[in-house]
Structure 1
């Protein structure tokens, strides 16, 4: 796929960087024993998740489809990615909140079953998030979303 301008390349690189940061924070979050270190890690991980979603939304808003009011085509094309991304963000934030609430008073305490279930859910969702986020970032960088009127007409007629 050919990217038409350096702006799309910059957006794609920044999206992949945010995704890589999330992966690194997922790996490193098991190591800190202090509650302050864990809090800082979770704050940065949530910050990068919010930045990645913001960058993805900005790329959606700059498409010709969005500007022409054809949002239903974008929703149809990126529904699965949006669902997985929102599920992962929700699972991450809930996990971080529960983890901090349980470990704040006693960092050496044994994890409760709820924390283990949330941890497992978030870790199982993460590969799906990485796959769908990267796929959506690559697909929305397609120049057809920005300039190809014939392709857009074909998409409207197919539904």
Structure 2
């Protein structure tokens, strides 16, 4: 099944929109003073992360490589993106959980070392997440991934 241009355009646009929303949420997450505002902000940020990963998986699953049972070739081509996305999602969820637990107990409490470490880790991983996620979305546009061609048989086995 060939990925049509409108479908791919929608997937790419959705992916970029979700990444942009995540970037905006990262920027404004320092401003909410109430714990309820922080909770709503983190719920939406995590929702957009899940939707971004879902769109990425939909595009991966629609490739010929995946449908023909050659998922190992596809995973080999996109493993860095998968690792970056997994690390960022885990860091974001951990940061949100710790941040909410600390703010829920005492809204005026100072940040703990764990929160500072998680915050720094999540913010350092975010550029890698944006880069690899966008790169994977653009690599999935390769028409060779949607048809049976000779380059797949020339791939070395691993």
TM tier relative to shorter chain: over 0.9
CA distance in 2, matches of 1:144, 1:108: 55
CA distance in 1, matches of 2:97, 2:4: 41
Q: Which residue of 2 aligns with 1:18?
A: 18
Superposed, 1:72-151 pairs within 5 Å as: 72-151=72-151
Counterpart-to-counterpart distance in 1, 2:49 and 2:66 = 23
Q: Aligned ranges for residues 21-100 of structure 1 at < 5 Å?
A: 21-100=21-100
The answer on whether the counterparts of 1:15 and 1:55 sit within 8 Å (CA) in structure 2 is yes
TM-score (norm 2): 0.94
| Matched position secondary structure for 1:151 | coil
| Aligned residues between the structures | 156
Q: For residue 152 of structure 1, give the secondary structure of its aligned residue in structure 2.
A: coil
**In 2, distance between residues paired with 1:9 and 1:148?**
22
SS at match of 2:69: coil
* Per-residue deviation, 1:112: 0.4
RMSD of Structure 2 on Structure 1 (CA): 1.4
In the TM superposition, structure 1's runs of 4+ consecutive aligned residues that sit over 6 Å from their partners are none
TM-score by length of 1: 0.93
- Specify every segment of 5 or more residues in structure 1 that has no aligned partner in the other structure, as ranges: none
Alignment gaps of 5+ in structure 2: none
Q: Deviation at 1:49?
A: 0.3
Shift of 1:95: 0.3
Partners of 1:78 and 1:129 lie apart in 2 by 13
Offset of residue 157 of structure 1: 4.3
Q: 1:5 deviation in Å? A: 1.7
2:152 counterpart of 1:152:
yes
